[in-house]
Amino acid sequence: MAINEEKLNAFMGQFVNDFGAVMHAATIVVGDQLGLYKALAEGPATAEELARRTHTDARYLREWLSAQAASAYVSYAPESQTFSLSEEQSFALAQEGSPAFIPGAFQITVAQFKAIPKMLQAMRTGLGVGWHEHDASLFHGTERFFRPGYAANLVSAWIPALEGVSGALNRGARVADVGCGHGASTILMAQAFPASSFTGFDYHEPSILHARDAAQKAGLDGRLRFEVASAKDYPGSNYDLVAVFDCLHDMGDPVGASKHVRDSLKSDGTWMIVEPFANDKLEDNLNPIGRAFFSASTFICTPASRAQEVGLCLGAQAGEARLRDVVTQGGFRHFRRAAQTPFNLIFEARP
């Protein structure tokens, strides 16, 4: 073997960074669930002071805080031996409603590690692993990770980018949110457009029960409904808007789902499709965002599709061209990219 020492050292440097990131992920989940970030956002503290604030053990916290400081998730002042959060760190780690809130992403990683035994079997046999077969941390983490992006963009940018949709929603429209999960997207729309009626559909009953509870807590349970149904059989017709958030690529038969959406819409209705950002060519997705989405797709999206009928397996990096093909096969004549963010592509489809 002809080993280039410089290239080997560069690769080993990447390994050390990745190994530290993987080990650090579990500490973020623990800190989030114990309320350590929120407590530290109240002001600088030593390990002992933070332990008193959070009713936790100071010796464990000293190690946890040191790990956070080594990862630059917490700031450390050697002269006072105190730890603190900068405004930016607090915005991302301690403020649940912020558009940059990230702890939910690490709950998803917990679910991936718990799925390793199932994925070993799936990759040997080609069988699927359904969304419902994952640990509950996936469902909660997905909502908490995606909700900030929806809160920052859905009402202010994505819906206005759709032709005539904002006006229709303000006047009063019928909306179906298909694959709604815990209902974050449905609730955001219902809060913004009180004249319209909303129904969220998902095949996963525990998620629907969670969504109903969330709607009640938000004081919206009388203005929107959540029902158990799949993308190919959800009830209702003459919808003004059907929305599908970050889940078309997870479906076993996205073409069949497209046909059902087409049949459920008014003749002048709109289908809003939100998908993970991806370019059409693999080589154009070999970047940090593609790395995250391809990894999630390996453990979550592709197995979910394979577990269903047809099992088309679009994957989380399907790209606009493949999505256009799926949508037009479903009977839609109009398809365009209406908006985008670094993490999402937003498409408008019309019959």
How far apart, in Å, do the first and last CA atoms of the chain sit? Answer: 59
Name the percent of the chain lying above pLDDT 90: 98
- Check whether 270 has a pLDDT greater than 80: yes
Report, as an integer, the average pLDDT of 177-191.
98
Report, as an integer, the average pLDDT of 313-318.
98
pLDDT for 11 = 96
Confidence category of residue 289, pLDDT binned at 50, 70, 90 = very high
| Helices and strands (H, E) in the chain, number of each type | 15, 9
pLDDT for 221 = 77
Strand partners, 75: 84
pLDDT for 266 = 97
C-alpha to C-alpha distances, 301 to 122, 151, 255, nearest whole angstrom? 13, 23, 16
pLDDT for 336 = 98
- Check whether 97 has a pLDDT greater than 90: no
Strand partners, 273: 244, 347
CA–CA distance, 130 with 125 (Å, rounded to integer): 15
Mean pLDDT of the chain: 97
Report, as an integer, the average pLDDT of 29-37.
98
Confidence category of residue 223, pLDDT binned at 50, 70, 90 = confident
What is the enclosing helix (H) or strand (E) of 224?
strand 224-228
**Single-letter residue type at 269:** G
pLDDT for 1 = 77
pLDDT for 222 = 81
pLDDT for 124 = 98
DSSP state of 96: T
Report, as an integer, the average pLDDT of 221-231.
93
Pick from 44, 141, 146: nearest CA to 89: 44
pLDDT for 126 = 97
Residues 199, 193: contact at Cβ < 8 Å?
A: no
231-269: buried (b, 16+ CB within 10 Å) or exposed (e) per residue? bbebeeeebbbbbbbbbbbbbbbbbbbbbbbbebbeeeb
CA–CA distance, 319 with 334 (Å, rounded to integer): 17
CA–CA distance, 94 with 88 (Å, rounded to integer): 10
pLDDT for 85 = 98
- Check whether 282 has a pLDDT greater than 90: yes
Report, as an integer, the average pLDDT of 182-205.
97
CA–CA distance, 141 with 101 (Å, rounded to integer): 11
DSSP state of 131: G
Residues 176, 242: contact at Cβ < 8 Å?
A: yes
Report, as an integer, the average pLDDT of 57-77.
98
3-class secondary structure, 176: strand
What is the enclosing helix (H) or strand (E) of 198?
strand 197-202
pLDDT for 59 = 98
What is the enclosing helix (H) or strand (E) of 340?
strand 334-340
Strand partners, 227: 201
What is the enclosing helix (H) or strand (E) of 50?
helix 47-54
